[in-house]
Amino acid sequence: MSRFYYYLILINMVANIIASVPAILLHFHNDGAVISMLLSIAAGVLLVTIYTKFFLKYPGKTLPELLEKTTSKWFYQPFVFLLAVLWFVAGLITLITFTFLLIRYLSPEMPIILICLTLILAVIFGCILKTDRVMYTVEMIMIITSPLILFIFFKAYSSKSLNWDFVREAALYINQVPNWHSFSACFFLFLGAANLFIFNRFFTDKQKFGFRQIMFIVLISIGTLFTTYFIPIGFNGFEGINDLVYPWISTTDSIRMEYFIIERVLFMFLLFYLGIAFLSILIHWHAAMEFLKFTFKLEKIKYKDKNIGIFIPLPIFVAISLYFVTVLTEYQLFRYSSYFYDVLVFIFPGMILLFTYINRRMKNEESSPEN
């Protein structure tokens, strides 16, 4: 598979390491979180495999294009609009989470609206770029930030402050009944493959997706979930871990780099992770914009031969973001994020039925004598 495919998978997993996912998992640390993670890996990898194999059959095609070809207008347009809402909300959760993080740890004196607006301005015009340019932007930022973030993870694993007895104690809770909220939060990490709904237009060449590629995703997901859940416990202890609002922030604040110009890893971690958050929002909102283009035919809205339609959703994105960042608290954000993840567990596996329907219609179309 192209390296760009793995970027879509990785960013969705890695961006949530310090977002609401670890807080949800650690809240249920003695109530089925461990077994929920294992089940989510099996379900998530299966979903990624099915999604990827489906889109490999239609190189260069987006899901809205396939739906337009195989379904009726009454179904196609509301459904694609629903997808736009889901992708926008996914990006919004990351945006609000990092706004709260920045105001809590880096700029406590700055107005929250100004911080949020700064993040939005950094992302919003990237949403209307062509998909290939979005992918090249993703690669450039990944090349810059990934080595440093991996180095910070290496420092965490090799730190003397990491108590493996706490990790072993947490692992002993594997025999608990799975927890639904934990499962859905972990399952969300695997939904990066769903970005193929739009980004499949970038993959016009024939790709290979077999056992080695699947095992690679399995290893990445195990490493990501282990790091997300067990490392904060190893640093902070098993008891009272669910009281931490941002467990990974407390973890990185326990790490020092004695011979570096900046000793506290926390500041570096936040700044470099901001790059990953930027990519996550960019991918989600770019997909949301593309879904809206298909739904409302925005590219046909013109004024004096200039296309103004693609700019119409941008003020709406900004207004909704600023509203929610001012009315939500951190506790409400985590609770509503958990509800959002719960809903996705039903929606995305259900789309496999839709894929089956599209496959049948496409086969019928190909075998039609008129074709």
- Which tens digit of pLDDT belongs to each residue from 256-283? 766 666 667 777 777 777 888 888 899 9
Residue 353's pLDDT is what?
Answer: 92
Consecutive 10-residue averages of pLDDT for the chain (371 residues): 87 78 82 89 92 91 91 90 93 89 81 88 83 88 83 83 86 86 88 90 84 90 88 80 74 71 72 83 92 86 80 90 90 87 90 91 72 52
* Fold of the domain built from segment(s) 3-365: Sodium/glucose cotransporter (1.20.1730)
Cα separation, 330 vs 156, in Å, equals 26
Nearest to 29 by CA among 255, 228, 218: 228
User: What are the sequence ranges of the domains in the chain?
Assistant: 3-365
Residue 64's pLDDT is what?
Answer: 92
* Predicted TM-score of the model (pTM): 0.90
